Amino acid sequence: MAENPRHVPVLLEVAVRILNVRTGGTYVDATLGFAGHASAIAKALGPKGKLIGFDRDPEAFAFAKARLETLREELGEAMPEIVLHDVEFSLAADRLEAGSIDGLLADVGVSSMQLDEARRGFSFQADGNLDMRMNPRQGVTAEQVVNQFGEKELADLIYEFGEERRSRRIARAIVRARPITTTAELAKVVSGCAPPMKRERGKHVIHPATRTFQALRIYVNGELDELKALLDAAPRLLRPGGRLAVISFHSLEDRLVKDAFREGAQAGIYEVLTRKPLTAEQEEMDRNPRSRSAKLRAAEKLGISGFEKNKIGPGRPTAIQRRK
């Protein structure tokens, strides 16, 4: 299966490199998506290796499974063992043995695959139903939240998960305009009461509904709780010398990862490999605009490793962040 240009894995080379993938190891891709990262990891593992993948989105899971089957045809006997779980990655602790993982990668947040499908309701770029569920088999929809929550509850949600300073004004406008059933309707309501805002850095103007859509998506999918669960489980799942790498796309996610790594380092659990988050080069940003907001942080579980360490974290003078 050829690479779909709409679904380009973010920070692919950097992520695989910092995971320090070794032949015969056991690695987890907690967010399979289109299996871009998973395929790169699988190619480096060899026949004695093991790749474990998670994705709660049934469509993404089907894409990933098909792509990995195609990779199996390509690699033949060099293909590692593949184990896939069509559940949220917060259940990793229930599905994996303690101390069994050499590396864990999570590319969190919404994927381009989900954004591209108007019917999923993740984006206001095309009109679709207000759904936003990564797993359409469970949970409340964004439409239910928008039309059933009280004004204060909506305002608090938009402020907390969207970091939107105009949350009260937006919530008031939403309540007055109800019922709202499509992404275009919601975007119009928000745009009508809140003008566009510039980012703090640069001249790029973001759509006034961006933060409201982000807040609803995070709430509907419990994204921050999902990430917290994974960060809590990782120290138990990783072998000594195992690495955890997380790619996030907004400050709420990045703050959780940064704090977890710092607390882990203070507790003697981790060595933080990224003093500052790794970001995409200009070439990647031009090729894949979604990578502009991507930040990768990584840490290594302390202890005696079963394989030779290859320290490449930015905390060292010879780090992969020499470009910074």
Numbered residues of the known binding site: 35-37, 55, 89, 107, 114
Helices (H) and strands (E) in the chain, counts: 13, 9
The one-letter amino acid code at 175 reads: V
Residue written as token pair 């303690």: 98
> Are the CB atoms for 53 and 38 separated by under 8 Å?
yes
Q: How far is CA 169 from the centre of its chain?
A: 30
- Going by the DSSP 8-state scheme, the letter that residue 288 receives in this structure is -
Residue written as token pair 């807040």: 215
Give the Cα separation of 289 and 284 in Å (integer): 8
SS (H, E, C) 9-37: CCCHHHHHHHHCCCCCCEEEECCCCCCHH
> Are the CB atoms for 64 and 39 separated by under 8 Å?
no
Give the Cα separation of 204 and 217 in Å (integer): 23
The sign of the dihedral angle between the CA atoms of 232, 95, 38, 26 is positive
Q: Spell out the residues 6+ positions from residue 279 whose beta carbon is closer than 8 angstroms to its own.
A: 11, 294, 295, 296
* Cα–Cα nearest to 25, from 179, 279, 243: 243
* Cα–Cα nearest to 108, from 205, 213, 207, 15: 15
Residue written as token pair 């770029």: 125
Binding-site residues for S-adenosyl-L-methionine sit at: 35-37, 55, 89, 107, 114
Give the Cα separation of 270 and 261 in Å (integer): 7
Which pair of tokens denotes residue 308?
């030779």
